[in-house]
Structure 1
Amino acid sequence: MRHRFHAICPYFAMFPETFVEKYLVFSKPGDLVFDPFSGRGTTGFQSLLSGRRAISSDLSAVAACISRAKMQAPPQRDIVMRLAELSDGFCEVDDAAHDDEFYKACFAHHTLRQLTYLRATLNWQNDIRDGFIAALILGRLHGESHKSSRYFSNRMPRTIATKPDYSVRWWSKYGYVAPERDVFQILKTEISYRFDTGRPEAVGEVVQADARQANGAFAHYKNEVKLVITSPPYLDTTHFAEDQWLRNWFLGGQARARKMPRGDDRHTSKAQYWKFLGEAWGGMKELLARESVVVVRIGGSKIDFEEAKNGVLNSLAAGLERDVSLRSASESEIIGGQLRSFRPSAAGTKREYDIVVNVN
């Protein structure tokens, strides 16, 4: 049975746990596995379930929150007790969202008050109980509420949040109204559901940090990483800060989506992209054991198979300053894809590539 922690929060451009399972054969129980682009924490969590040790990093607060919830989950009773405390202490707080056209259209009146109270109260960065509850909220914050009563918002994709002005126009055009949702009751049900498959005894370490800073963030694991399984941001595919803006808001970020400058997670220049990856691999070079394996799933509408192989190999050699050799490479078509699930005509990335590299 699939562990229910895996689906705590749907995430754009995520790989399944079967991808991790396939490549854990390059390690043995007790080995340290690292993911410098943690996303929703699949590599770290599946590694723990398989008897490995695990560390993960991601620059995104959303990714760090979700990954930490899976890899450092407290006992169920502690979370239930904390949720009861929060429910008993509920009160209205001042929040600009209460008077914002988008938020008033996105969430029912009482639902929004519950969310802004939790937003102001949860200490998700320092309390693992609060962190787990926050991760559950991120997973339920927006989605296809006309299909499932587990989502808090008006109709919206579950993997990314559409922009405020567009959302309001779309809801108004079709007469969609935010559903009445009791956040505390849904969270109570979610906790029970997620823990139905148990809680791993082992815990991992998650740091919110740029991949290029991993050597310093995990200095106490120097030369210990035997296996890296990761998927860097795809070339010119998504901008996580923009796409996850509503979840970022809940974690304390901006109340409105802002147009972001094109940064490291959405390069349009191939040269800049491979340079960034070289720097990212350099950020973990002090962590790798003498003989290790790096598994990279990569994609991008402008990258073909040969370029993916050469780009990963060359960037690893440059960043790690070690001998690297190709162990295997494969390609697959992205069937459906989350982007095309709500934008059927979107071009986007059609293929992705799995590159396995020996590091000596």
Structure 2
Amino acid sequence: MFPEGFVAEQLYAYTRPDDVVLDPFCGRGTTVLESLLNNRQGLGTDINPVAACIAGAKANVPALKSVLARIGELAGDFGKQTYRELPPTEFFEHCFHQDTYAEVAFLRGILSWRRSSVDRFIAAVMLGILHGESHRSGMYLSNRMPRTISTKPDYSVRWWRERGLRPPRRETFEVLRQAARFRFSQPPPTRKGHVVLTDARRCARVLRKHEGSVALVVTSPPYIDTTDYAEDQWLRMWFLGGEPKPMLRLHKDDRHTSAENYWSFLEDVWRGCAPLLRDKARIVVRIGGTKLDKPVLLQGLRGSLVQGLGGRTVRALNQGTSSQIAKRQTNSFRPGTSPDRLEHDFTFSIS
């Protein structure tokens, strides 16, 4: 996730109020939200349901009173239930207290996060409290876990057993109310954006009403040979309707190990975005990886843009700005791993 200030810097440099800004790999929605907060139009797509849910909640924030009313309605409906869904695997028995699991499973089954902005916002809040360092905060529903990624089931159960850790009883609806109120501690944007759960290569099809209007793209594609987002977020994926286990390579482009295939993939993405770009648009890409250095990344990225945006002139505005990747997850789970990993920001003019 790149910081808000990075997006704001691009907005001030390359757009004016009311301009359209796109992120085809929108992730948690930083580009979309910052665009809306700075009086721009924010658009995003992502193929990962977790990303689309969180970014979509930021793009279309309902009123707090509507959110709290819906949570109250859900709590009342849960209280009328006589059936309690059993945990599907041993992992869930160790991850959640049985009463907490019943509430989580109920919300999983009833929230219409794809269609309702209120339910989407509640689901996004749930994703934030679903698991985390519960020994440090009562705002996490799970047994002790990282909050950034979902650890694997077998590893988690073994780790909890070795330490004699049991899941805490959390009052899910009350924690949900507190977390929702916290999200409104800062005013949400007054403008509404648009985020679509889809493959980035379908950008122009799902956002066709914005054809020829995008002034700026600020994005960060999956880094080559770095991570598999669906696998790392499997528990949150489960909450949104997925399988109760990690799904390696849920999408074939979740993790590329071949540079040739990676650039071909990005070429297709730019081709899918091309009809949306206006003349003299700008594309800002933050990119990294463990295999390719900065010159190779610049060359490959520019080549993919030239091929994907066939017929348009692609000009690099700089040779890239580099920075260290902060708080790498690998450092936490693999002691001794080198922290020296760089990511690079490249800016291109498209005409």
Q: Same fold (TM over 0.5)?
A: yes
Q: Residues 65 and 335 from structure 1, CA distance in 2 versus in 1: closer, same or farther, beyond 3 angstroms?
A: closer
Structure 2 counterpart of 1:161, from 135, 150, 160: 150
Q: Which residue of 2 aligns with 1:112?
A: 101
SS at match of 2:119: helix
Letter in 1 for 2:343: E
Q: Which residue of 2 aligns with 1:42?
A: 30
Tell me whether 1:355 sits opposite 2:346 in the alignment.
yes
Q: Which residue of 2 aligns with 1:292?
A: 281
Q: Which residue of 1 aligns with 2:15?
A: 27
The 5 Å alignment of 1:64-143 reads 64-90=52-78, 91=81, 93=83, 95=85, 98-143=87-132
Residues 285 and 320, structure 1, Cα contact 8 Å, conserved in 2: yes
- Structure 2 spans left out of the alignment, 5+ residues: none
SS at match of 2:273: coil
Tell me whether 1:324 sits opposite 2:318 in the alignment.
no
Tell me whether 1:220 sits opposite 2:222 in the alignment.
no
Offset at 1:166? 1.0
Higher mean displacement: 322-331 or 34-43? 322-331
Superposed CA offset, 1:235-288 (max 9, x none): 011101111111010001101123337821211101111110111111100000
For 1:303 and 1:349, the matched residues in 2 are separated by 14
SS at match of 2:274: coil
Letter in 2 for 1:156: M
Q: Residues 338 and 16 from structure 1, CA distance in 2 versus in 1: closer, same or farther, beyond 3 angstroms?
A: farther
Q: Residues 347 and 236 from structure 1, CA distance in 2 versus in 1: closer, same or farther, beyond 3 angstroms?
A: farther
Structure 1 counterpart of 2:253, from 264, 271, 278: 264
Offset at 1:347? 4.8
For 2:246 and 2:326, the matched residues in 1 are separated by 29
Q: Which residue of 2 aligns with 1:189?
A: 178
Higher mean displacement: 262-271 or 297-306? 262-271
For 2:10 and 2:177, the matched residues in 1 are separated by 35
SS at match of 1:133: helix
Offset at 1:103? 0.2
Q: Which residue of 2 aligns with 1:230?
A: 219
Letter in 1 for 2:5: T
Tell me whether 1:309 sits opposite 2:298 in the alignment.
yes
Offset at 1:341? 3.0
Offset at 1:336? 3.5
SS at match of 1:259: coil
Offset at 1:348? 7.8
For 1:268 and 1:36, the matched residues in 2 are separated by 21
Offset at 1:310? 0.9
Task: State, as a whole percentage, how many aligned pairs show the same letter.
Answer: 44
Residues 324 and 340, structure 2, Cα contact 8 Å, conserved in 1: no
For 2:153 and 2:330, the matched residues in 1 are separated by 18
Tell me whether 1:17 sits opposite 2:17 in the alignment.
no
Superposed CA offset, 1:131-173 (max 9, x none): 0000000011111111111111111111110111111011111
Tell me whether 1:344 sits opposite 2:335 in the alignment.
yes
Higher mean displacement: 337-346 or 221-230? 337-346
Residues 93 and 116, structure 1, Cα contact 8 Å, conserved in 2: no
Residues 242 and 260, structure 1, Cα contact 8 Å, conserved in 2: yes
**What is the TM-score when the length of structure 2 is the normalising length?**
0.95
Superposed CA offset, 1:12-49 (max 9, x none): xx111111011112111100000000100000001100
For 2:326 and 2:177, the matched residues in 1 are separated by 35
For 2:276 and 2:4, the matched residues in 1 are separated by 24
Letter in 2 for 1:60: N
Q: Which residue of 2 aligns with 1:254?
A: 243
Letter in 2 for 1:344: P
Count of residue pairs brought into register by the alignment: 346
Tell me whether 1:170 sits opposite 2:128 in the alignment.
no
Letter in 2 for 1:150: M
Residues 300 and 349, structure 1, Cα contact 8 Å, conserved in 2: no
Q: Residues 49 and 242 from structure 1, CA distance in 2 versus in 1: closer, same or farther, beyond 3 angstroms?
A: same
Residues 88 and 244, structure 2, Cα contact 8 Å, conserved in 1: no
Offset at 1:354? 0.3
- Structure 1 spans left out of the alignment, 5+ residues: 1-13
Residues 157 and 342, structure 1, Cα contact 8 Å, conserved in 2: no
For 2:279 and 2:84, the matched residues in 1 are separated by 54
For 2:345 and 2:255, the matched residues in 1 are separated by 20
Residues 301 and 348, structure 1, Cα contact 8 Å, conserved in 2: no
Residues 134 and 144, structure 2, Cα contact 8 Å, conserved in 1: yes
Q: Residues 94 and 318 from structure 1, CA distance in 2 versus in 1: closer, same or farther, beyond 3 angstroms?
A: farther
Letter in 1 for 2:211: K
Tell me whether 1:278 sits opposite 2:273 in the alignment.
no
Structure 2 counterpart of 1:180, from 151, 156, 169: 169
**What is the TM-score when the length of structure 1 is the normalising length?**
0.93
